[in-house]
């Protein structure tokens, strides 16, 4: 995990909205594009950034691609920020 990639991914409002939607559970790329009111191309761009930061998982089943949150990376980012703030060990 590279913290700069995580922070860069989280800096964009569209990607934060995608993560909030994924909090509800696994969803197909088509359903996600519809829910986000994005074109498949725009969604693909944002998903690539989230995957690069390891914030999401991608699984394939037949002709469908599904996405879900990678909570362990979020936990690591929160721990890093807490450490930066001088949090408890």
The residue assigned the tokens 């944002």 is 46
What average pLDDT does the chain have?
92
Q: Measure CA 32 to chain center.
A: 12
Which structural domains are found in the chain, ordered by start? 3-84 (1.10.10.10)
pLDDT at 2: 81
Alpha helices, DSSP H, located in the chain: 3-10, 13-22, 29-36, 40-52, 71-84
**DSSP at 43:** H
Higher per-residue pLDDT: 58 or 88:
58
Residue 8, pLDDT above cutoff 60: yes
pLDDT band per the 50, 70, 90 thresholds, residue 37: very high
Residue 1, pLDDT above cutoff 70: no
User: Each residue of 62-80: pLDDT tens digit?
Assistant: 999 999 999 888 888 888 8
Q: What number of other Cβ atoms are within 10 A of residue 20's Cβ?
A: 10
Segment 24-46 shows an average pLDDT of: 95
The encoded tokens of residue 78 equal 């929160």
Angle of CA points 48, 51, 31, to nearest 5°: 70
């Amino acid at each position: 995990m590279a913290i700069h990639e995580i922070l860069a991914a989280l800096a964009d409002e569209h990607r934060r909205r995608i993560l909030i939607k994924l909090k509800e559970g696994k969803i197909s790329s088509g359903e996600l594009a519809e829910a986000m009111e994005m074109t498949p191309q725009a969604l693909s761009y944002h998903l690539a950034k989230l995957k690069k930061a390891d914030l999401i998982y991608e699984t394939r089943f037949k002709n469908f691609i599904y996405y879900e949150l990678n909570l362990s990376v979020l936990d690591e980012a929160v721990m890093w920020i807490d450490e930066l703030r001088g949090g408890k060990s």
